Amino acid sequence: MQLRWSALGLALLLILVKGATAQQPSAPAPPPAFKFTDVDLELLEKSNELDRYMDEKGMVYSDPALTEYVTALGDDLLPPGPDPERVVWKFHVLRDPIPNAFALANGSIYVNTGLLALLENEAQLAGVIAHEETHVLNRHPYLENRSYRRKSVAANILAGVGAAGGEAGGIGGAAAVLMGTVAPAIVETTIYGYSRELEKEADIRAVAAVNMADYSTEEMINAFKLLESSHEVELSHVFYQDHPKLDDRIGYVSDAIHDTRPLTRHPMVEEERYVAATEKVSRDDIALDIRAGRERTAVAVALRLAKQNPKSSEDFRALGDAFRALGPRTPDPTPEELSSKGKKDARKMETKFTDQEYDDALMATPAGQAAMQASQKKSEEAYQKAVELDPGNAAAHRGLGFLYEKQRLPAQCAGEFREYLELAPNALDQLQIRRRLESAEKESAPPVTTNAAPSPKP
């Protein structure tokens, strides 16, 4: 009996010890050793070139305070100890409204302005950055590149063998092929992601890294849910928006979070700090959304900013711009637009029509005209709120000028452009606005009537 109780006690003790050690927060496993080949060094050089190229082409968002914020967060998530061989950590924000992030083999990590505008707090951003850091630490770009090159060699040999038995290509056909040239592996992984195994590895390690930095791991799931939502009729998906992959990720990341004990009782979320740090980039992203034909996302981001900052004249100006760009569309897609037929029609329209033609086609419908009226009304209200908060907001007057010009109200248009030029006499676009002002003044001038005496009768 005594022996049985002792055995039972020992067994209970063992169970308790095992349970406790399984839930202890632990640092992520160190990356495996890596041996560089010539192919890898080529990719490294290409990564360095890409960094320079993207900066030269104006793709990198320039805001030292924001870059410092993202860099500080990125540094917090890194494992202790020296950096891996041939990695120099650099964190950049990319001027791109699509919610996405990617890492290059050399340690450069890019987060799109669209992603920053979408996320709600620092913990969510930490999850994304930790994921990208894992790709670099575990040398995923090199592994994927090696795999891509092996497949390409096989494809080339097969193509050569196939062509020998059939018609020759010819330079005309090759030109068409060029247009659809396969993107190099480095670009493909940035858009579509790595293999499932490597992405899962990155996610699981990110949970541990986020936890060790004392951020809430639950926010990683919330970030995935945000990425699943969209205000647009999405016709293609980058990795961070691919729904089947997101569902998969939510599943195994939830399991990993469940098995991880938080470092402290109240891990950080840091919503206020994040909102303050990303207000300007979110506002600037609105213009990028508009340019990319994502007007609905622009409106959604602008509405959120205006709600968060009710005293910000600039945020209301951006809201005015967003509604003006929305034009003949509803703020959210209709159920018909989101149906399979709707998406098929949208794809057809996208390939067939330019943006202007697409807008004109919408304006030809009663629904489009009603949506345009509603958008213009909201745009005017937002601009007027901006001016009320700050009468010196030149850009808001400019926006009103464009709005009234579109509505064929030349007198009001001229008034706003005049105000704009008075407030910003050295504006870079003053020549163009002056031309539009002259045109509006001409249109709004009263017709000239003459009181000539009637000619005498013969």
> Least CB distance from residue 451 to other proteins, whole Å?
36
Q: Which of 12, 163 has the CB closer to other proteins?
A: 163
Looking at the Cβ atoms of 36 and 53, the one nearer to other proteins is: 53
Considering the complex, what minimum distance in angstroms separates the CB of residue 34 from other proteins? 21
Residue placing its CB nearer to other proteins in the complex, 250 or 409:
409
Cβ(113)–Cβ(188) under 8 Å?
no
Identify which of 296, 189, 203 has the alpha carbon closest to the alpha carbon of residue 247: 203
Handedness of CA 197, 98, 148, 146 (dihedral sign): negative
> What minimum distance in Å lies between the beta carbon of 376 and other proteins?
16
- Closest separation between CB of residue 165 and other proteins, Å? 9
Minimum Å distance from CB 153 to other proteins?
A: 5
3-class DSSP state for residue 168?
Answer: coil
Q: How far is the CB of 151 from other proteins (least distance, A)?
A: 8
Number of H helices, E strands in the chain: 21, 3
**Calpha distance 16→21 (Å, rounded):** 9
Nearest CB to other proteins, comparing residues 51 and 380: 51
Give the containing element (helix H, strand E) for 38. Answer: helix 38-56
Binding site for other proteins (CB under 8 A): 46, 49-50, 53, 56-59, 62, 95, 148-149, 151-153, 155-157, 160-161, 163-164, 168-172, 174-175, 178-179, 181-182, 184-185, 291, 293, 351, 353-357, 402, 428-429, 431-432, 435
Distance CA 364, CA 438 (A): 30
Supply the minimum distance, in Å, between the C-beta of residue 294 and other proteins.
12
Instruction: Name which of 64 and 244 has its Cβ closer to other proteins.
Output: 64
Q: How far apart are CA 371 and CA 451, in angstroms?
A: 46
Q: Please, which residue, 169 or 251, has the CB nearer to other proteins?
A: 169
In whole angstroms, give the CA distance from residue 249 to residue 204: 10
Question: What is the dihedral angle through the alpha carbons of 247, 248, 250, 253, rounded to the nearest 10 degrees?
Answer: -170
Residue nearer to other proteins on the CB measure, 226 or 287: 287
The answer to whether 376 and 324 have CB atoms below 8 angstroms apart is yes
| Total Cβ atoms within 10 A of residue 341 | 9
Among 214, 297, 216, 292, CA closest to 253: 216
CB 31 within 8 A of CB 139: yes
Shortest distance, position 280 Cβ to other proteins, whole Å = 14
The gap from C-alpha 177 to its chain's centroid, in whole angstroms, comes to 29
Q: Which is nearer to other proteins, 81 or 165 (CB)?
A: 165
